[in-house]
């Protein structure tokens, strides 16, 4: 029993931690807000899983067969492994929470027992993600059951590989620090490059290469044709270690599945035993890793996304320009601009890469009819850019929860302060999205009135998005802490926010559509102007409706800021 599951005291600790997590979840549901958000989160998750199961068991039988390809599965395995190993170089040694690491290191426990304890936690936490990913993947694999088991086992092997590499990295850190940094950079480069290649392969699987000329030609090199196993030599070398799991996931029958599945299970047990017996003293690096993670969690309690990052020492010496004037509101915006410049370097790089990828994807995809594709691409860039950037940057009230008593004392009206807090983030997101839209238009020679109109709408839309998020946050603040137990409440909260955004979109559509139609009719029928003038009047009415909504949200945010009680922190 001890060989498989570790020391009895650690098993008891796992049981107590599980009970504590359940009690915290139940305690959160005692309030009406916690109960509603939890039920919404559970309902959303059940509906999502149910839709996947319905598609798997009631969908067309040849859908997965038509979309499956060993080379694509191999690329997906390569990407997942690269992403997993990238975290191993940041969490070196054996990660244990700050509140228990010193007690466990001083307890009379074997090193192998501590590693088994952590491995069990990592594998248990990965089970839900492995379940969801397996259910999604079976739609593209030849046999649903074999594909599910193969993907599930492969994903559950990654935490063991990650822990093995983390312990080795901690042991080699003192002697090969520079090489370790190089390897970490190489892994991140491989992961980002994999995203740029694999996502288009999953979205456009080459079934209609004529619609996707760029990725269709790439698939012609990587994808085996008619059972031919010859693929690009580089792909063969990079994905050779994943061959057993690929054969398990792609097995068409039991005779092919069982031997490879048994081999993968045996490898999992052998890798676990090898990991727990590594002759590496990881105590010092584990203490440093635990302290670093605790500091990140503490910063995350004051905000989320890039706002919870640490200040770059090199960039902190840069002079921050006063872009929004030198008055009280400009000073607040200057302070937020400095936080973005000093903390969001990595997030901005990743966000730029994501926008470049989305822009390239919309430029070569055949989404929608040919006469609608030109109008759809800028809308897709604006929508995905707003959704991703606003969720990641959060340099607004969401990173100021610990300083609200100071902010409430600033000599500025609530509405101006609310707007000044949001302005730098809104301007940054708008500039990135508009730049992507205009660069795409220049690249594909589609620089027309529609592109200009969408680019003009982006700043007002981003302001409405961020203002709504912050108004709801001031009404009901919450701390988004990594690994917290309120994940279901956060899922429910996200669902509520999406419903509020849909309501806001409906209001803008109703007001803006009505005003636009009225303006068009007045311009064409009453004033006798041409259709182009009527369209310009309708667009101006739409901008006016968006501006009216933004002003209303700023007034609402100022009202919620005024009624925010720092003595009753409900986050």
Q: Rounded distance, CA 290 to CA 105, Å?
A: 12
Structure tokens at 221: 């090199």
Assess contact for 357 and 429: CB atoms under 8 A.
no
Assess contact for 297 and 481: CB atoms under 8 A.
yes
Structure tokens at 263: 């081999």
Assess contact for 406 and 309: CB atoms under 8 A.
no
Q: Rounded distance, CA 380 to CA 360, Å?
A: 12
Q: Rounded distance, CA 207 to CA 507, Å?
A: 40
Assess contact for 365 and 215: CB atoms under 8 A.
no
Owner of token pair 């030599």: 233
Owner of token pair 């035993």: 273
| Domain layout of the chain by residue ranges | 1-59, 65-296, 301-562
Tens digit of pLDDT per residue, the chain (571 long)?
455 567 888 888 888 888 887 787 777 777 766 677 677 767 767 776 777 667 666 655 444 444 556 777 777 777 778 777 767 767 778 888 888 888 888 888 888 888 899 898 888 888 888 887 888 777 778 888 888 898 899 989 999 998 898 888 777 765 554 455 555 555 555 555 555 554 444 444 444 433 433 334 344 444 443 344 445 566 677 778 888 888 888 888 888 899 999 999 999 999 999 998 888 888 888 888 888 777 776 766 655 544 555 555 666 667 888 888 888 899 999 988 888 887 776 667 767 766 776 666 665 544 444 444 455 778 888 888 888 788 777 788 887 877 888 888 888 899 999 999 999 999 998 998 888 888 888 777 777 777 888 888 899 989 998 998 898 888 877 765 544 444 555 656 666 677 777 777 777 777 777 777 777 777 777 666 777 777 777 778 888 888 888 899 999 999 999 988 877 655 4
Q: Rounded distance, CA 130 to CA 123, Å?
A: 10
Q: Rounded distance, CA 538 to CA 310, Å?
A: 46
Q: Rounded distance, CA 193 to CA 78, Å?
A: 11
User: Which of 377, 363, 353, 356 is closest to 443 using CA atoms?
Assistant: 363
Phi first, then psi: give them for residue 142, nearest 5 degrees. Answer: -60, -45
Q: Rounded distance, CA 204 to CA 215, Å?
A: 8
Assess contact for 494 and 520: CB atoms under 8 A.
no
Q: How far is CA 319 from CA 315, 343, 493, in A?
A: 9, 14, 38
| DSSP per position, 28-66 | HTTSHHHHHHHHHHHHHHHHHHHHHHHHHHHS-TTHHHH
User: Whole-prediction pTM value?
Assistant: 0.62
């Amino acid at each position: 029993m001890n060989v498989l599951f570790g020391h009895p005291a650690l098993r008891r600790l796992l049981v107590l931690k599980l009970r504590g997590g359940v009690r915290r979840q139940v305690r959160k549901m005692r309030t009406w807000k916690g109960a509603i958000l939890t039920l919404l989160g559970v309902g959303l998750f059940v509906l999502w899983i149910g839709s996947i199961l319905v598609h798997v068991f009631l969908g067309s039988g040849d859908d997965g067969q038509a979309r499956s390809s060993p080379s694509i599965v191999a690329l997906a395995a390569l990407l997942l492994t690269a992403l997993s190993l990238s975290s191993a170089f940041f969490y070196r040694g054996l990660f244990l929470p700050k509140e228990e690491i010193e007690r466990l290191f001083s307890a009379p426990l074997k090193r192998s027992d501590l590693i088994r304890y952590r491995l069990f936690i990592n594998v248990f936490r990965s089970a839900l993600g492995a379940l969801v990913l397996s259910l999604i993947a079976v739609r593209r694999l030849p046999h649903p059951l074999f594909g599910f088991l193969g993907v599930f086992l492969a994903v559950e092997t990654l935490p063991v590989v990650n822990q093995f590499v983390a312990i080795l990295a901690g042991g080699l850190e003192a002697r090969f620090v520079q090489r370790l940094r190089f390897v970490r950079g190489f892994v991140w480069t491989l992961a980002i490059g994999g995203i740029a290649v694999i996502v288009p392969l999953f979205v456009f699987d080459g079934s209609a290469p004529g619609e996707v000329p760029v990725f269709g030609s790439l698939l012609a090199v990587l994808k085996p044709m008619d059972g031919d196993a010859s693929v690009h030599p580089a792909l063969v070398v990079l994905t050779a270690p994943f061959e057993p799991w690929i054969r398990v996931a792609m097995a068409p029958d039991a005779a092919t599945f069982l031997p490879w599945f048994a081999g993968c299970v045996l490898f999992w047990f052998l890798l676990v035993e090898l990991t727990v017996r590594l002759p590496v003293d990881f105590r010092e690096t584990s203490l440093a890793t635990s302290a670093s993670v605790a500091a990140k969690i503490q910063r995350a309690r004051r905000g989320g996304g890039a706002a919870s990052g640490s200040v770059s020492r090199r960039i902190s010496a840069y002079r921050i320009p006063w872009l929004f004037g030198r008055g009280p509101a400009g000073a607040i915006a200057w302070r937020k601009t400095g936080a973005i410049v000093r903390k969001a370097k990595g997030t901005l790089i990743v966000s730029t890469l994501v926008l470049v990828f989305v822009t390239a994807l919309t430029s070569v995809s055949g989404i929608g009819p040919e006469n609608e594709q030109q109008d759809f691409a800028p809308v897709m860039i604006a929508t995905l850019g707003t959704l991703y950037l606003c969720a990641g940057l959060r340099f607004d009230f969401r990173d100021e929860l610990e300083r609200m008593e100071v902010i409430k004392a600033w000599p500025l009206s609530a509405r101006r302060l609310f707007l000044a807090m949001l302005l730098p983030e809104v301007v940054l997101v708008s500039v990135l999205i508009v730049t992507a839209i205009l660069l795409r238009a220049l690249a594909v020679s589609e620089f027309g009135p529609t592109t200009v109109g969408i680019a003009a709408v982006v700043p007002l839309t981003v302001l409405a998005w961020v203002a709504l998020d912050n108004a709801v946050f001031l009404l009901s603040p919450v701390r988004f802490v990594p690994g917290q137990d309120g994940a279901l409440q956060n899922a429910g909260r996200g669902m509520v926010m999406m419903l509020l955004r849909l309501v806001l979109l409906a209001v803008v559509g109703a007001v803006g559509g009505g005003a636009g139609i009225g303006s068009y009719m007045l311009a064409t029928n009453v004033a006798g102007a041409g259709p182009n003038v009527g369209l310009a009047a309708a667009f101006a009415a739409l901008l006016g409706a968006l501006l009216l909504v933004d002003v209303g949200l700023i007034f609402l945010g100022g009202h919620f800021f005024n009624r925010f009680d720092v003595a009753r922190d409900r986050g």
